[in-house]
Amino acid sequence: MSTGDSVLGEADLSLIHALQMAPRASWTQLSSVLGATPDTLARRWDHLTAGGYAWSSLLAARHGADAMLYAWVELECVAGAAETTAVEVSGDACTLGVHQVTGDADLVLLVVCPDLYALDDYLARRIRRLTGVIRSRTQVVTRLHNRPYRSRIEQLTPAQIQLLRGITHGDGRARTPAREQARERAARGRAQLTELDHRIVAELAGDARRSAAELARQCGTSESTVRRRLDALSAGGALHHHCLPAPRFSGRPVWAMVTTDVPPLDVPATVAALARLRQTRLVTSVTGPHNLALALWLRTVDELHEVTASLVRAAPALRIAGTALSLRTHKVGAQVLGPDGRRLHHVRPATPA
């Protein structure tokens, strides 16, 4: 059974794959890799983004003492209130995923907060006061084994990938020894986000390809400062880049959550095996009755049966505890999706006071 209306063309997927690798590469640089003129690539990307079929977004990824806390929050709603509630919480800066699902819960949210106190405040002051919510259940993510909502488009050839890696890095400028040394220094110590960094990242949440000149005007600084900060943040692993097709048009429109039980000593090997499966998007260790929760994107509803069997074959220590399928995805990352599955707008991430 298929739930997708259509899929993007090969040229579209190639462009998205290239932008996943080099989010801010120039159209001229990408043209030498993709075999299309810069104007053609620019028009194609404008069509994809204006139509809500794809997007490129940057979000902050904190580490160490600045690490963010993730949690899965399941909501049970009064009859007929699930969609209204989903639309409402999709507007919250701390929700990175909102899925209307089958099973015991009506909604599954992926929530990110600075710490446990902030999570408790969000649940108490926001979630439990929603008129459509009967009850909620929260599973705190004790370990995020990969990045949220990463994509696994594999459209480019090995030669194209090598060429792309050789000509550019994240901001689209050519590699030089000086810049490489700066990136290596930054990579040795995680970049610390400043107030300016948060403003820059907030501007890039809706469009990661906004120019340095535009960012400088918006943030009240110079282009060189913007470029330098993006270099440092990218090299230090302080950014999550999301260049994604809208799920309904990606060829993998069905979101699913699988909860599993894995003996603690088998978790590392199990996680490594699960991460190699194409359908797996997010692997999390969680609190609660089951210790591992997986988010998947599937081609069809029928594929869930095949994938759960593949999970057990890949990781024999794993036991499936439960599954849920999304009837509708309302939000992915910072992007809010409409009833037709296309991107409507983005929600600006919260910045520290």
Q: What is the pLDDT of residues 297-322, one digit of tens each?
A: 999 999 999 999 999 999 999 999 99
Give yes or no for a contact between 322 and 101, defined as CB atoms under 8 angstroms apart: no
In percent, how much of the chain has pLDDT > 90? 72
Q: What is the pLDDT of residues 43-88, one digit of tens each?
A: 999 999 999 999 999 887 765 556 789 999 999 999 999 999 999 9
* pLDDT number for residue 87: 97
Joined tokens for residue 56: 């490129």
Joined tokens for residue 249: 């048009």
**Long-range contact pairs involving 284-289 (C-beta distance under 8 Å, separation at least 24):** 284/70, 284/72, 284/141, 284/143, 284/144, 284/145, 285/141, 285/142, 285/143, 285/145, 286/72, 286/139, 286/140, 286/141, 286/142, 287/139, 287/140, 287/142, 288/137, 288/139, 289/321
Section 324-332 average pLDDT? 96
* pLDDT number for residue 268: 95
Q: Please give the Cα distance from 81 to 98 (Å, whole number).
A: 14
* pLDDT number for residue 336: 98
Section 203-223 average pLDDT? 94
pLDDT above 80: residue 40: yes
Joined tokens for residue 112: 């990110």
Q: What is the pLDDT of residues 254-302, one digit of tens each?
A: 999 999 999 999 999 999 999 888 889 899 999 999 999 999 999 999 9
